[in-house]
């Protein structure tokens, strides 16, 4: 024997439940939107602080570096090692690009021949270039300029130099590059490592 129960819902109760359901749904959606907005603002703020911390921009630096290199091409028959020092004036923009002017002195040590060591070759580089920071600390560089030989033929060479390096806002700068010297039908190169520290001006 089945007993049927009839549950009567008053129209007023149904309307009240619908209103409560709609309000809860609106509150849930509002909370989601507010949470997303707060997260977006926090991320934007954090990115802005990071950018200002890693690259505040509009800064001039003077860097002093030690250079060491391995001669290539025609120079390799003359020398196995180069040692020098350079000064670099650098301007940090507010973007990920920095401009630089570099000069100094390279001492290219001569190989001994039959127990006799010839005079070393000296080179004074004067280069303009830029750095492109792919990340906060890793950069790619490109330089062009002139290299003035101070011994033997005293020729002036065209310098073209691509490189890669690491730098931080404290001033440390470590760069690895290939430097090509061309002109007077006597071309050679250097695979060079530069370790430097930059001071804010």
State whether the Cα torsion 190-151-123-160 is positive or negative.
negative
Q: Which residues make Cβ contacts (< 8 Å) with residue 87, sequence separation at least 6?
A: 62, 63, 64, 65, 102, 103, 104
Q: What is the pLDDT of residues 55-67, one digit of tens each?
A: 567 899 999 999 9
Contacts of 41 (CB under 8 A, 6+ apart): none
Residues of the chain above pLDDT 70, percent: 72
pLDDT at 3 over 70: no
Lowest mean per-residue pLDDT among 65-69, 94-98, 138-142: 94-98
Query: From its phi and psi, is residue 40 left (phi > 0), alpha (psi between -120 and 50) or beta?
Result: alpha
pLDDT higher than 70, residue 175: yes
> Does residue 177 contact residue 192 with C-beta atoms inside 8 Å?
yes
The sign one gets for the Cα dihedral 15, 20, 26, 32 is negative
β-pairing verdict for 138-149 and 59-73: unpaired
Question: Which tens digits make up the pLDDT trace of 4-30?
Answer: 444 455 555 555 556 555 555 555 555
- pLDDT tens by residue, 106-133: 999 999 988 888 999 999 999 999 999 9
Bridge partners of 108, per DSSP, are 82, 121
Mean pLDDT of the chain: 83
CA distance 149 to 201: 31
Structure confidence at residue 1 (pLDDT): 47
Q: pTM higher than 0.75 for the full model?
A: no
Q: In the prediction, which pLDDT does 87 show? A: 98
pLDDT at 180 over 50: yes
Question: Residues with Cβ < 8 Å from 84, sequence gap 6 or more?
Answer: 66, 67, 68, 69, 104, 105, 106, 107, 123
Residues 102 and 127 sit within 8 Å (Cβ to Cβ): yes
């Amino acid at each position: 024997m089945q007993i049927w129960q009839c549950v009567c819902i008053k129209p007023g109760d149904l309307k009240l439940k619908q209103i409560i359901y709609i309000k809860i749904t609106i509150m849930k959606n509002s909370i989601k939107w507010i949470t997303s907005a707060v997260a977006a603002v926090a991320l934007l703020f954090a990115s802005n602080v990071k950018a200002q911390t890693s690259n505040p921009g509009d800064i001039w630096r003077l860097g002093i570096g030690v250079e060491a290199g391995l001669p290539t091409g025609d120079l390799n028959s003359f020398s196995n090692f180069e040692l020098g020092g350079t000064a670099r004036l650098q301007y940090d923009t507010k973007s990920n690009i920095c401009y630089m002017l570099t000069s100094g002195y390279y001492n290219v040590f001569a190989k001994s021949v039959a127990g006799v060591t010839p005079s070393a070759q000296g080179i004074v580089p004067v280069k303009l270039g830029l750095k492109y920071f792919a990340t906060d600390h890793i950069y790619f560089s490109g330089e062009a300029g002139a290299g003035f030989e101070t011994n033997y033929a005293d020729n002036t060479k065209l310098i073209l130099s691509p490189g890669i390096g690491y730098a931080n806002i404290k001033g440390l700068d470590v760069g690895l590059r290939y430097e090509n010297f061309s002109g007077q039908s006597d071309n050679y190169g250097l695979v060079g490592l530069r370790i430097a520290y930059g001071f804010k001006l």
